[in-house]
Amino acid sequence: MLRPVRRVAEPGSLAVIATCMSYAPTTDPKFLGTLERWFQSQPEILVLIRVRCGGGAKDFELFSTFVALLQRIHELSPGTCITAFKQPQLPLRGVVDDEFVAKCLSSIPDGSEYLMVETVRTVAGRMSWFHYGSDVTHAGLRDDLEESRGVSVAVGLYPPALAETDDVIHAVIPDEDGVVRAGPY
């Protein structure tokens, strides 16, 4: 299950609706080949999953194999935008306790946007997801970590999700007819 966005743009800030309109389909051999090469040199890849017309719904998942990522892509609905990050992300790992909270607070500067992702899937009936949280304050980081107390998490600075570099790639799951029909994310 993809979680809706928890926070909206602050008053007076520039809000961007990312659309993935220029991105290749997830079936593109270049996209798939790039991911396969990344897994040969990286033990893990963080992926951002955004649902077309999903009201900002998104999810973050960590993958340790190309096959596992391909399987997940096949489970997602057409129009879903996939963003993969080659460089290691979320370097702070552990089970949330007082010591881990202190480590995170000392490692991430107050005012820097962070991402915290649980590494254990939450299951509720037929639905499942990886709980995550993000904000720009130490108060928000502390609150997100407290929500995950006793759970294994990965934490770090928020990844460059809108970047267009050799280390960040985007693709959209095509419709049944093979056409990419992106929408607001």
CATH of the domain at 52: 3.30.1490
CA distances (Å), origin 145, targets 47, 150, 160: 21, 9, 22
Summary mean pLDDT of the chain: 87
Is residue 16's pLDDT more than 60? no
Quick check: 4 pLDDT over 80?
no
Determine the average pLDDT of the residues in 157-170.
91
Question: At 116, is the secondary structure helix, strand, or coil?
Answer: strand
- On whether the CB atoms of residues 119 and 153 are closer than 8 A, the answer is yes
The model's confidence at residue 183, banded by pLDDT at 50, 70 and 90, is confident
**How many CB atoms sit inside 10 A of residue 109's CB?**
11
SS3 87: coil
Residue spans of alpha helices (H) in 19-177 = 29-41, 66-75, 98-107, 138-147
Pairing of strands 24-25, 168-172: parallel
The radius of gyration of the chain's CA atoms, rounded to the nearest angstrom, is 16
Residues 123 and 147 occupy one common structural domain: yes
- pLDDT level of residue 54 (50, 70, 90 thresholds): low
Q: Are residues 110 and 132 in the same domain?
A: yes
Q: Is the pLDDT of residue 3 over 70?
A: no
Shared domain check, 116 and 72: no
Q: At residue 11, does pLDDT exceed 60? A: no
Angle at 130 between CA 125 and CA 131, to 5 degrees: 100
Q: Which domain holds residue 175?
A: 19-89+162-185
Cβ pair 129, 51 in contact under 8 A: no
Question: Does residue 29 sit in the same domain as residue 84?
Answer: yes
CA distance 37 to 46: 15
pLDDT number for residue 164: 81
Tens digits of residue pLDDT in 77-133: 999 999 999 999 999 999 999 999 999 999 999 999 999 999 999 999 988 889 999
Mean pLDDT value of segment 39-63: 90
Q: How far apart are CA 60 and CA 58, in angstroms?
A: 7
What's the total number of domains in the chain?
2
What pTM was computed for the model? Answer: 0.84
Write down the pLDDT at residue 179: 85
Q: Is a pLDDT exceeding 50 seen at residue 8?
A: no
Residue at 7 is within a domain: no
**pLDDT confidence of 5, banded at 50, 70, 90?**
very low
182 inside domain: yes
